[in-house]
Amino acid sequence: MTKLEVYEKSFIHKVAICSIMLSLLIMSGLYVYTSSMMKRILSIEYQNYSNNLEAYLQETLHPLIAANDRNSINLILDSLIKLDVIESIKVQTFDEVIFERDKHRISNSKDIESSVHPLVTSFTIADMIVGQLEANLYLKEREVRSKETLYTLLFACTTATLVILTAIILFLLSIKKKLSRFEAATRSIITNHIPQPIPIQGKDEFSQMASTFNAMLWQLREKYVAMDMSPGGILIVNSDDKVTYINSALSQLLSLDSPSHSCQSLADFDNLLRGKLDLRESNINSLKSLFKDAVLVLKDQQKTILRCHLKYHETTNTEEHSKVFYFLDITHEKRVERLKSEFLNTAAHELRTPLAGIYGYSELLINFEYDPTQVKDFLNIIHAQSKLLTSIIDDLLDIAKIESTKEHYIERRNANLASILDQTIDQVRLLADRKGITIKSSYPSDIKAYIDTEKLRRALVNLLSNAVKYSDEKTQIEMLYSQDDTGVHTIKIRDHGIGMSEEELSRLGEKFFRADTSGSTPGTGLGVSISSQIIQVHGGKLSFESTLGVGTSAVVTLPKNTNN
């Protein structure tokens, strides 16, 4: 931008130039008017002197010239020439000059023309001119005082002009300084930085405007905070395809270190996004495409899935518009949908198995006749399948209840954890004795804990019964307890069973997952999931350690004894 463009566009410069020109015009006009008035007054004064002198000369010299009394004429004129107002006198008759004097106070011919006022008068007798007097009047002191006054006036006008211009410039600079604060604040807003409030001084229009502007800043700051707190990413692009805003959520979603520098335009952002997109899985390959909603899949480890909404914002009076892109991370939503679908498929499959047995054997009993022994066997199978079906439904209801109520599912109280461990072993002992498995335990007789005794006992029974189910006959299972310096309880159930591979260990805890896929080991595949959620709502954690062919350890950690 050139200086000329600045002058053309800057209101302050226009006001300054107009003020300077107006001040110079007023002072110049005042000086010219005063100067002309003084010249007019001096001219009137000369005219008065001329009229008075002419009347005096007509009265005194006219009879002397008629009498040709030259001595008297010379005496009168000698006395007149001594007057300061008279510069020169010349008197002549028909054929000769009888008197001529000149003081020679003015040497320059231009000064003579401008400073001397001529006086010419004729003497007549019977309408016949008998003589003529020519005189030059010069009011020296008046001329000097007039010039001094004009010089003083010029100095005063110049000084007044400078003072006025200085005051105008200072006033305009003050206005410009105040306006520059607003300009800096608005430029800061354009670059997505909310400035500090503008100081309010006095009660003038600028103070009122600053107060209104600060109120706008506060509302704008609230909106920026709200957009930064938004879980979704926000990208705003103006009509020139320049990026005007990127919130922190979008920076985190796309791992942008410095979005304000790397993404100056929509093209820059689009190129950056394309480098992170899995174009085969995404609905669109560019934000410049025409769309309202699109699904974008990133190439990161988590395979992040984003839903992008595009909204246009247009103004009615201008061609300006902006595009707002809203990115929402729906990875968890998609994963939940997938898990829900898998869960429903698995649950339907698990429920269909006992239902198929019940339906098949009951149909045989209805359509055919069997001896009492076979009928009893069929009824035992139907009973076992019904029991399995009831267990699956009960476990599913428990999982749903835990997931919906969370910590409200349990009712904690101060209790002895050792008593819960004793009850757990007693409940599983019969199952262990059938396989000749011994359960070795090591823990104090009094362990203070803040727990829901029934829910925690159920979780521990599930874990210990799994250890028995997946252990070989005549082996040993250990139930160990420890407490660290912070008061955290640790319970470890270690078996020497079949163990699990790394893949199986990673899936342990999924609903309906079972390490033994042969079906020979009884269970619903929901026990570990229920136990994990019960321990989690206690504020604890369930983890596993396993080696294929060696055994598995279930590690339960519970927070220290507190009822806060």
pLDDT interval class at 5 (50, 70, 90): very low
**Residues 396-417, mean pLDDT to the nearest whole number:** 77
**Residues 68-77, mean pLDDT to the nearest whole number:** 84
**Residues 108-136, mean pLDDT to the nearest whole number:** 76
**296-310, 323-337, 403-417: least confidently modelled range:** 403-417
pTM, 2 dp: 0.46
36 or 319: which carries more pLDDT confidence? 36
- Residue 524 is predicted with a pLDDT of 59
**140-144, 254-258, 362-366: least confidently modelled range:** 140-144
CB 234, CB 250: distance < 8 Å: yes
pLDDT tens digits, 451-489: 888 888 888 988 898 888 888 889 999 999 998 888 899
Residue 481, beta-bridge partner list:
491
CB 88, CB 82: distance < 8 Å: no
- Residue 7 is predicted with a pLDDT of 44
The token duo for 470 is 């997946």
Q: How far is CA 405 from CA 42, 162, 411, 564, in A?
A: 110, 83, 12, 19
- Residue 455 is predicted with a pLDDT of 84
Rounded Cα distance, 135 and 119, in Å: 5
Is the pLDDT at 447 greater than 80? The verdict is: yes
Handedness of CA 28, 30, 35, 37 (dihedral sign): positive
Q: How far is CA 47 from CA 33, 279, 536, in A?
A: 21, 105, 120
Is the pLDDT at 178 greater than 90? The verdict is: no
Is the pLDDT at 4 greater than 60? The verdict is: no
CB 46, CB 140: distance < 8 Å: no
The token duo for 271 is 């190129």
Arithmetic mean of pLDDT over the chain: 80
What is the enclosing helix (H) or strand (E) of 481? Answer: strand 476-483
- Give the strand pairing for 128-137 and 86-92: antiparallel
Q: Reduce the DSSP state of residue 247 to 3 states and report it.
A: coil
Q: State the DSSP code for 497.
A: S
pLDDT interval class at 3 (50, 70, 90): very low
CA 111 from centroid of its chain's CA atoms: 76
* Region of residue 241 (left: phi > 0; alpha: psi -120 to 50; beta: else): left
Question: Tokens 């997505």 correspond to what residue?
Answer: 192
CA 556 from centroid of its chain's CA atoms: 47
pLDDT interval class at 123 (50, 70, 90): confident
Q: How far is CA 511 from CA 197, 345, 347, in A?
A: 57, 11, 9
- Residue 511 is predicted with a pLDDT of 65
pLDDT interval class at 151 (50, 70, 90): confident
- Residue 131 is predicted with a pLDDT of 82
CB 487, CB 534: distance < 8 Å: no
The token duo for 324 is 């707002």
- Residue 6 is predicted with a pLDDT of 43
pLDDT tens digits, 15-60: 777 777 887 788 788 778 877 887 787 778 778 878 888 888 888 8
Rounded Cα distance, 136 and 152, in Å: 28
**Residues 274-303, mean pLDDT to the nearest whole number:** 83
**48-52, 225-229, 485-489, 537-541: least confidently modelled range:** 225-229
- Residue 343 is predicted with a pLDDT of 67
Q: How far is CA 426 from CA 108, 422, 423, 460, 541, in A?
A: 141, 6, 5, 12, 24
**142-146, 266-270, 434-438: least confidently modelled range:** 142-146
pLDDT interval class at 1 (50, 70, 90): very low
**Beta strands in 146-273, from DSSP E residues, in sequence order:** 233-237, 243-246
Residue 85: count other Cβ atoms within 10 Å of its Cβ.
18
The token duo for 101 is 């004097």
Long-range contacts of 158-164 (CB under 8 A, 24+ apart): 158/27, 160/27, 161/23, 161/24, 161/27, 164/23
Rounded Cα distance, 71 and 81, in Å: 15
CA 401 from centroid of its chain's CA atoms: 44
Q: What is the CA radius of gyration of the chain?
A: 57
184 or 557: which carries more pLDDT confidence? 557
Q: State the DSSP code for 126.
A: T
Q: How far is CA 546 from CA 338, 492, 501, 525, in A?
A: 28, 12, 8, 18
Alpha helices in 68-139 (DSSP H): 70-81, 109-115
